[in-house]
Structure 1
Amino acid sequence: MKKILVICFAAAVLTTGFTSCNKYLDVKPKGYTIPQFYEDYEKLMNNMSLIRLSAAYPDYLSDDVQVGDPTDVSKLASYSGLSDFKKALYTFQPGAVFVPGSSDPFWETAYSHIYTYNVVINNILNVPDGTEQDRKQLKAEALFGRAYEYLTLVNAYANHYDAATAATDYGVPVVLTEDINQPYKRGTVAEVYALIKSDMETALKDLPAKSTNIFHPTQSVGYSFLSRMHLYMGNYAEALTNAKAALALNNTLLDYKLYTTKKGVTFGRVCLASDNSVRFPEAHLNAESIWVRYGNSSSSSLNAEVYVSADLLNLFTKRLPDGAVDQRRALFFCDGESNFGVKPVYFPGRVLYAPYNDPNFGLSNAEVYLIAAESEARAGDKQEAMKYLNALRNMRIKNNQALVAATNDEALEMVLEERRREMCFLGPNRLTDLKRLNRDARFAKTITHKRGSEVYTLPANDQRYILPVPPKVLEFNGSMPVYER
């Protein structure tokens, strides 16, 4: 126990090598204590760093983004002001995304979280205090957190799950101990998913029905996560079973029709129509959030940093009834002009993504509705798929009219279109969807990005969809196998 120090996160192991952290092994870091009692571990799990992620930048690979001009009228959207790694992603550069010596906030944040979860998982049951139920619940929360991080990592830094190749496809390093001197290797996709499933099978029985706050998982959160995992794996029957179990416990959706926008502000520009002093709820106050994770840096939010691609804009008008208004587009995008301060900024013909409301990178009921709808469509029940889909659309669209699918294939197409509308600019979600849908010839697509007169393309199933292992990791782990992107 005396070797367990919070400062030596696994991110340090995976970025700077073992020796750099050895000097910290017997030094008690300022502000931290060596975990000995239940309360110590509870504090670790309540640390605010765990609710902060850095996972928005993969959207620069997606078909949702259009960059600004070199010196754009919307300063945050200026292409010249973007980080080099965002430029590399947007222009589909091969090879490394980050330059040698730089940090990958997505990778490092995830592994630092995993280190903390490992500390709790491997030690909490041995503390001398706390009830057995409390200790098991805290371990279950840590198991869930580790599973969440690994599911996100493996879908960003590896081939998408394919049962035929998962046993040989490179996954991500599997770290199960807080002992930084233990060797590790890059696991396969199958091994990573096996760990995720094992963690969740153990965790689910000890997760509580209710939690102290929205940052801690409950049983409904566990079922929601399993529905996502099975969807990614193509296990649609299991995805549906878990989605239904989750919605049986919590099926609340927020009515976007009650909101409007106001001028002269950034955060708070989306507000209640009946009282513009009431802001659109932050994720932890949003009734449809079930487990919340926020961003923690400029790599975590695309607020006013990107324009919306023509491809995505066209999708917002597709299947929209006459006289209807999709509130997601009306509230969270700025069409032709923005007004965040003293005077407006004009960009005619373009639409800026600017919700100025921190998104939830965790889990929400809207996603679970969409998982249920997609699973029903793939199972051949278009009527049930449309029930879930229309329930969501009724809370998003003014003057909505129910969609009707003539075939199961049409129902599936409608659901996938809605999923893109609902979940655009939410971290790596669109990238994961592109990777999984590219495996199906019906939905495979080549992405086209433009910058002035320059045109860049990314064909379906290209290895550049896979984020590369950061250079700092490879500097100290030269034998780690990598994808050639």
Structure 2
Amino acid sequence: MKKLRYIYTTALAITLCLAACNKALDIKPTDSIDQNQAIVTSDDVQSTLTGTYNRMGRADLYGGRVFVEPDLLATQDIINWNGTYQGMTQFVNQQITTNNGFVESLWLAAYVVINQSNNVLANLDKATNDDERARWEGEAKFLRGLTYFDLVRLYGKSWNDGNPATNLGVPIVLTPTTTADESSKVSRATVKQTYDQAISDLKAAEELLPEDNSFYANKYAAAAILARVYLQQGEYDLAATEATTVLSSGAYSLNEKYANEFPSSSKTHFDNTVEDIFAIQVTQQLGTNSMNEFYASSGNAGRGDIRIKESFLEGYEAGDVRADLYTVGSVIRTAKFNNQYGNIHVIRLAELYLIRAESNLRAGTTTGDTPLNDINVIRKRAGLDPLTTVTTDAILKERIHELAFEGGFFLHDAKRLMQDVGTLPYDSPKLVFPIPLREINANPKLVQNEGY
């Protein structure tokens, strides 16, 4: 197949990179399928869908870097960077260049996932029954919606930074791209249009998906990500409602011990815990744990590039068992990612308690439960005494200590809360990723972000 010097924004997958994710699927693993022959039967569609999960689990996307990179951009007072990757150092220094290889790889990986999702959606007629068709559509829209949400948070201004109806987001592509031509050159949609697309996809997924779908996306995964989206927008009533959908389902529960959410007794794959709503599966054959790559020491198969400052640990209350998940010696590291084959927790139940508590408190509502009760659920598991009254600051403190280093929250929360990030204001152009230079060169319709 002829190679292109540049890859257009929408022309990212002339060949589909497919792989079976787990023995739970009764299909043969497929490394690559020529596009002209790829999707003919029901099994081909299932293989494409499985390959989409596999692709989103690579290191440059939900294998970890979609979370590591925004955190590096926002943790100057929290971590010490000891890495040698120049591109990662640019995040830490808040001086990203337009040819940053990590920014480019994340964009490319995201649009591969979007294109493969679009291929599934274009072939729903090959389903053997209505249930299969609904599941395919729901999973593909979940993956596409989640990806668009994180793309617009990284490559576009924050929802509350100016006017989302005029600020530029990312290109929206809803049909498969099989060739690179003029139609592949798509302009950037607005931030609002990108959010609207992500919400539309996720709402459809919540409606279409079953309650139980092995470790793949189910209706509660869609509701959970929707709660995260609405919190980012400041739509607190909607965020509390979606969080309650998950919390009241009985499908998940908090691990009895906080450390049980991050098993690392050996460098082998562990199944999802009772708390995982959606996680990327990492095994010796499939997936990558880039959280392990950057946070774990060499003794735990990592590079050890990210070290935690002592001042951050000092912020934990005495007796908080979450502070025990840091190794303290000549350097301080989080032990959350010590397992090379540990799953990447995209969203887990504790976050939903925190979303609902904050949303209800800000909205003056008690959807599902009171903010005080929800925050005390989190504190009880952490080994802390219950609060008698609750404030927004108290909820945000619990959010930091519960979810530290897991999901890019240091950057995304600072932006929605309009907090300074290091020496930069929340709305600094330096806190928005540039559109990759190769994409700008390939597609003249793309407008570069401010400041680049």
Task: Pick the TM interval, shorter chain.
Answer: 0.7 to 0.9
What residue in structure 2 maps to residue 450 of structure 1?
A: none
Q: Label 1:460 to 1:190 Cα distance change in 2 as closer, same or farther (>3 A).
A: closer
Where does 1:271-286 land on structure 2 (aligned, <5 Å)? 271=265, 284-286=271-273
- Please, which of 8, 16, 21 is the counterpart of residue 13 of structure 1? 8
Note the C-alpha offset of 1:307.
Answer: 1.3
Deviation at 1:177, TM superposition (A): 1.5
The corresponding residue for 1:296 is: 288
Give the CA deviation at 1:93.
Answer: 1.4
SS at match of 1:302: helix
Letter aligned with residue 46 of structure 2: E
Matched, 1:158 2:156: yes
The answer (yes or no) to whether the contact 1:172–1:188 under 8 Å persists in 2 is: yes
For residues 21 and 44 of structure 1, the distance between their equivalents in structure 2, rounded to whole angstroms, comes to 12
**2:85 corresponds to 1:83:** yes
Q: What secondary structure is seen at the aligned counterpart in 1 of 2:370?
A: helix
Mapping for residues 8-407 of structure 1, pairs under 5 Å? 12-14=7-9, 31-32=32-33, 33-47=37-51, 48-52=54-58, 53=62, 54-55=65-66, 56-63=68-75, 65-68=78-81, 79=82, 81-93=83-95, 95-96=97-98, 98=100, 104-124=104-124, 126-127=125-126, 129-162=127-160, 165-179=163-177, 180=179, 181=181, 182-183=183-184, 184-211=186-213, 213-214=214-215, 216-249=216-249, 250-256=251-257, 270-271=264-265, 284-293=271-280, 296=288, 298=290, 301-303=293-295, 304-310=304-310, 312-316=312-316, 320=317, 322=318, 324=319, 326-331=320-325, 333-335=326-328, 337=329, 347=330, 350-355=331-336, 356-357=338-339, 358=342, 360-380=344-364, 384-397=370-383, 400-405=384-389
Q: Supply the distance in 2 between the matched residues of 1:94 and 1:305 (Cα, whole angstroms).
A: 18
Deviation of 1:315 (Å): 2.5
Alpha-carbon deviation of 1:309?
3.4
What SS is found at the alignment partner of 1:13? coil
**Cα RMSD for the two superposed structures:** 3.2
Q: Secondary structure at the match of 1:315?
A: coil
The TM-score, its normalising length taken from structure 1, stands at 0.75
Offset of 1:434 from its aligned partner?
1.3
* Structure 1 residues 240 and 282: CA distance shift in structure 2, 3 A: farther
Q: Describe the superposition over 1:68-115 as per-residue Cα deviations: whole angstroms up to 9, x where unpaired.
A: 5xxxxxxxxxx3x4211111111121643616xx76332222111111
Query: Unaligned stretches of 5+ in structure 1?
Result: 69-78, 261-266, 272-278, 338-346, 439-443, 448-456
CA deviation after TM superposition for structure 1 residue 297, in Å:
6.2
Whichever structure has more strand as a proportion of its residues is 1
1:342-395 Cα distance to aligned partner (Å, 9 max, x none): xxxxx2xx4223430335342211111111111111123598112111112222
Q: In structure 1, what is the equivalent of residue 22 of structure 2?
A: none
Q: Tell me if the contact between 1:156 and 1:431 (Cα under 8 Å) persists in the aligned partners.
A: no
**Cα 1:217–1:459, aligned 2, differ >3 Å: closer, same or farther?**
same
Query: Cα deviation per residue 1:420-444 (whole Å; 9 max; x = unaligned)?
Result: 1122212423211111111xxxxx2
Contact 2:289 2:343 in 1 (8 A): no
TM-fit CA distance, 1:299: 7.4
- Per-residue Cα deviation, 1:326-357 (whole angstroms, up to 9, x for no partner): 222212x211x2xxxxxxxxx2xx42234303
Partners of 1:297 and 1:280 lie apart in 2 by 11
CA distance in 2, matches of 1:280, 1:365: 24
Pair 1:87–1:372, CA change in 2 (3 A): same
List per-residue Cα deviations over 1:281-316 (Å, max 9, x = no partner): 967421100111267364774323211135532332
Structure 1 residues 57, 201: closer, same or farther in 2, change over 3 A? closer
CA distance in 2, matches of 1:85, 1:163: 26
Amino acid at match of 2:332: V
Contact 2:440 2:448 (8 Å CA) reproduced: no
How far residue 164 of structure 1 moved from its aligned partner, in angstroms, is: 6.1
- Secondary structure, aligned partner of 1:173: coil
How far apart, in 1, do the equivalents of 2:416 and 2:315 lie? Answer: 20
Superposition deviation, residue 259 in structure 1: 6.0
Which one-letter code corresponds to 1:353 in the other structure? T
Distance 1:283 1:377 in 2: 36
Ranges in structure 2 where 5+ consecutive residues have no aligned partner: 17-29, 282-286, 296-303
Structure 1 residues 297 and 416, CA gap change in structure 2 (3 angstroms): same
1:2-26: CA deviation from partner (whole Å, max 9, x where unpaired): xxx9x999x9432xx86x977x79x
Corresponding position of 1:441? none
Any conservation in 1 of the 2:13–2:116 contact (CA below 8 Å)? no
In the alignment, the residues of structure 1 paired with residue 206 and residue 196 of structure 2 have an alpha-carbon distance, to the nearest angstrom, of: 15
Quick one: which amino acid aligns to residue 296 of structure 1?
A: T
Greater Rg, structure 1 or structure 2?
1
Residues 199 and 292 of structure 1, relative CA distance in 2, 3 Å threshold: same
CA pair 306-163 structure 1, distance change in 2 beyond 3 A: closer
State TM-score, norm by structure 2.
Answer: 0.80
> Is this contact kept in 2: 1:103–1:472, CA < 8 A?
no
Identify if the C-alpha distance between structure 1 residues 412 and 160 changes in structure 2 by more than 3 Å, giving closer, same or farther. Answer: same
